[in-house]
Amino acid sequence: MNKTLLARDQEVVWHPFTPLKNAPQPLVVKSGKGIYLTLEDGREIIDAISSWWVNIHGHANEYIAQAIAKQALQLEHVIFGGFTHEPAIKLAENVLSVLPPGQNKVFYSDNGSTAVEVGLKMAMQYWYNRGITKKKVIAIRGAYHGDTFGAMSVGERGGFTAAFSPYLFEVNFIDFPTSANQDEVYQQFEAIVESEEVGAFIFEPLLQGSGGMRVYDHVFLDKLIKKAKEKNVVCIADEVMTGFGRTGKWFASDYLENKPDIFCLSKGLTGGTMALGATSCSSEIVRAFESEDVMKTFFHGHSFTANPIACACANASFELLSKKSCWENIQRIQDSQLRFKEQMTGHPNIRDIRVCGTVCAIELDFKGQTSYFNKSRNHIYNYFLEKNILLRPLGNVIYVMPPYIIEERELEEIHNAIGEFLDTI
């Protein structure tokens, strides 16, 4: 008898962030269109989280698909050392045209973690090439920057990193800033940067993603960056999640007066269709690498660096995102999320509800402390799947992060389902 896809999957596939025992079985997806995923059994599910926060224009977007097909028939891949091509050049021009002024060059990699890894390595080698010892790195508690060793080092140390802790480099963490502890956090930051040794400060601007969709004050972040700049600390904005319209502007750093030196980008870069990472940096950083000394080269790259199909895909996504109608949608989603927040504020089962651009996070007052490992997670996840809505809570934090093409009635359907759920617990 032919085995089902699910049975074959369970025999040979290892899924990310998924225990190998007692985990719910994965759902087999046959196709996607717009905000909907169609399962093998014909069920249609609303993708309310843009499939790991990447899919900004909806699934199987025809414009993007055509750009991919055209590029695949023209040039599918070429070694990017010693060769270049139009899709990569055009994408760097596109990205630099919307990043805050002062960004000068784009370095490509494969995903969010590698975009961060490149950002950290650029900052470290910037000091190395200049012959200056500035080894300390500052990060914010609760951060998630990815799963490579550098990215893990600057992320929250806990369940995700425990097995690797002996191998992670030392990082100075400051507390996550809230309205209650800003003075204290500023003092922590000041005390660290006052030492001569600090080379880099990395942060998720405005919104910490995996750490629980936690929003913090951009004015406070501005103050930290200002202080960092006074002390010549390279500021690295991890905009892997916040980039490309998520927070209501092209980049979360657009809300800041003091601009970061390095930007790490991925996820929405290709409209969530193909794997691609990009790290941009200022001319000040570039200058430290412009040397006759070959040992000052940035010795980093990947087999698929600047893959032409991924770059063409990103250029198509960029064109869609540049349309006025797309920004109208972003604004509409933001307004709708704010209305929902207003409506739900004060609900007895909500500990906190917050909106940052197109993202709304609802922290439930449910089954103990707020944490990724909160026991309510599977219950919440299954509840919404049964209602044909994909919401993937971070422990007891439900968040809605839809593709920008979602219609108002569809967003209302998600909001209503959350409202009903809150009334059942």
Ligand X SMILES: Cc1ncc(COP(=O)(O)O)c(C=O)c1O
Would you tell me which residues interact with ligand X (CB under 6 A)? 111-113, 116, 144-146, 204, 209-210, 238, 240-241, 266
| Nearer to ligand X (CB atom), residue 113 or residue 329 | 113
Is residue 249 marked as binding? no
Query: CA 302, CA 272: separation in Å to the nearest integer?
Result: 20
Is residue 144 marked as binding? yes
| Nearer to ligand X (CB atom), residue 145 or residue 223 | 145
Is residue 379 marked as binding? no
Is residue 253 marked as binding? no
Is residue 70 marked as binding? no
In the complex, what is the shortest distance from the CB of residue 208 to ligand X, in angstroms, rounded to a whole number?
A: 8
Task: Give the CA distances from residue 112 to residues 108, 109, 384, in Å, rounded to whole numbers and listed in that order.
Answer: 11, 9, 28
User: Which pair of tokens denotes residue 32?
Assistant: 């996607």
User: If 0-12 CB within 10 Å is exposed, 13-18 middle and 19+ buried, where does residue 406 land?
Assistant: buried
In the complex, what is the shortest distance from the CB of residue 339 to ligand X, in angstroms, rounded to a whole number?
A: 26
Question: Could you please report the per-residue DSSP string of 143-172?
Answer: ----SSHHHHHTSPPSTTTGGGGGGSPP-E
Is residue 52 marked as binding? yes
In the complex, what is the shortest distance from the CB of residue 52 to ligand X, in angstroms, rounded to a whole number?
A: 7
Q: Give the up-direction half-sphere exposure of residue 265: CA atoms within 13 A in the CB hemisphere.
A: 29
Is residue 113 marked as binding? yes
Residue from 381, 373, 354, 376 nearest 365 by CA: 376
Is residue 165 marked as binding? no
| Nearer to ligand X (CB atom), residue 209 or residue 393 | 209
| Nearer to ligand X (CB atom), residue 371 or residue 388 | 371
| Nearer to ligand X (CB atom), residue 111 or residue 153 | 111
Question: Could you please report the per-residue DSSP string of 208-238?
Answer: ESTTTSEE--HHHHHHHHHHHHHTTPEEEEE
| Nearer to ligand X (CB atom), residue 288 or residue 390 | 390
| Nearer to ligand X (CB atom), residue 37 or residue 401 | 401
In the complex, what is the shortest distance from the CB of residue 240 to ligand X, in angstroms, rounded to a whole number?
A: 4
Is residue 112 marked as binding? yes
In the complex, what is the shortest distance from the CB of residue 266 to ligand X, in angstroms, rounded to a whole number?
A: 5
Question: Could you please report the per-residue DSSP string of 311-356?
Answer: HHHHHHHHHHHTSHHHHHHHHHHHHHHHHHHHHHTT-TTEEEEEEE
- Cβ atoms of residues 220 and 182 within 8 Å: yes
Is residue 303 marked as binding? yes
**Those residues with Cβ within 8 angstroms of residue 252's Cβ, 6 or more apart along the chain or in another chain:** 205, 206, 207, 218, 237, 239, 242, 243, 246, 357
In the complex, what is the shortest distance from the CB of residue 404 to ligand X, in angstroms, rounded to a whole number?
A: 18
User: If 0-12 CB within 10 Å is exposed, 13-18 middle and 19+ buried, where does residue 397 land?
Assistant: buried
In the complex, what is the shortest distance from the CB of residue 227 to ligand X, in angstroms, rounded to a whole number?
A: 22
Q: Which residues of 76-88 are buried (b: 16+ CB within 10 A; e: fewer)?
A: eeeebeeeebebb
- Cβ atoms of residues 289 and 297 within 8 Å: yes
| Nearer to ligand X (CB atom), residue 134 or residue 145 | 145
Query: CA 390, CA 3: separation in Å to the nearest integer?
Result: 26
| Nearer to ligand X (CB atom), residue 118 or residue 224 | 118
Query: CA 173, CA 283: separation in Å to the nearest integer?
Result: 28
In the complex, what is the shortest distance from the CB of residue 399 to ligand X, in angstroms, rounded to a whole number?
A: 12
User: If 0-12 CB within 10 Å is exposed, 13-18 middle and 19+ buried, where does residue 409 land?
Assistant: exposed
In the complex, what is the shortest distance from the CB of residue 363 to ligand X, in angstroms, rounded to a whole number?
A: 18
Q: Which residue is nearest to ligand X (CB)?
A: 112
| Residue set of the binding site for pyridoxal 5'-phosphate | 112-113, 238, 302-303
| Residue set of the binding site | 52, 112-113, 144, 238, 267, 301-303, 392
| Residue set of the binding site for substrate | 52, 144, 267, 301, 392
